[in-house]
Structure 1
Amino acid sequence: MARHIYSCPLRWSDMDAFGHVNNVVFLRYLEEARIDFMFRLAPGDGSPSFSGGSVVARHEIDYVRPLVHRHAPVTIESWVTKITAASLTIAYEVKDPEQVYVRASTVVVPYNLAEERPRRITAEEKLFLQEYLDQEPAVV
């Protein structure tokens, strides 16, 4: 099983009054990593996959330890834990080599923007996602 690796820069504005990255900002980090992951298959190679849209149905986040601003980016590892006919679950770890700051998951539903309704995962998308599929739950 492969993991998608995303190097996420920290911004000074990500910090809150307590001097660490605000909990809401982690959702933006996960979004950046998820978009980078899902669009690895899409238009660059001429594939229409995932370019039609998707919506987030659910987020779960476990905050393990505070992250403070620094110049070095944080690593976000992403992988797939579940694929159904019309949704997928992506798991994440926001981390440095020696520690994890956040463990999270997102349920994503492919969406047909033109028809304004959810759609099924295509065979091409499923094949791509299976490369990242790990059916063992992450240790929390």
Structure 2
Amino acid sequence: MEFLSVYLDYIIFSILGFMGFLAIWFSVERVIFFSKIKLENYTSLDSLEEALTKHLTALYIIYSNAPYIGLLGTVGGIIVTFYGMSLGGDIDAKKIMADLSLALEATGAGLIVAIPVLMIYNMLLRKIDLIINKYKALRQ
């Protein structure tokens, strides 16, 4: 339990930070790709869709799982808090409340990662729809 009390926040925030980094990386890559795309280079709609949707699954996984990673950190923090209380001795309400409030930071961090990624994901989906419609109009 000592390991969790010392390293839980570092582990959770590292995972969420890595997820955030990947989300930024993939989002920027997609925006650059969309700005440079040449529709005449694609011979079929399937190949265009495949190129356009690259990395979107990763963004979907990030936005759908970041809150759960944060919640895992919160649950772990609550477990550590209750374990500390169970060791007996002096139960200080201020310390318990401080520990519980720190545990909730992980859920907040998960939401901070998930919400912008969800917005970016939906904006990219909309841009893909516009590009596909443009491609279809050129092929008619």
TM-score of the two chains, using structure 2 as the length reference: 0.28
TM-score of the two chains, using structure 1 as the length reference: 0.28
User: Computing the radius of gyration over CA atoms, which structure comes out larger, 1 or 2?
Assistant: 2
Higher strand share: 1
Instruction: Answer 1 or 2: higher relative contact order, Cα 8 Å, separation at least 6.
Output: 2
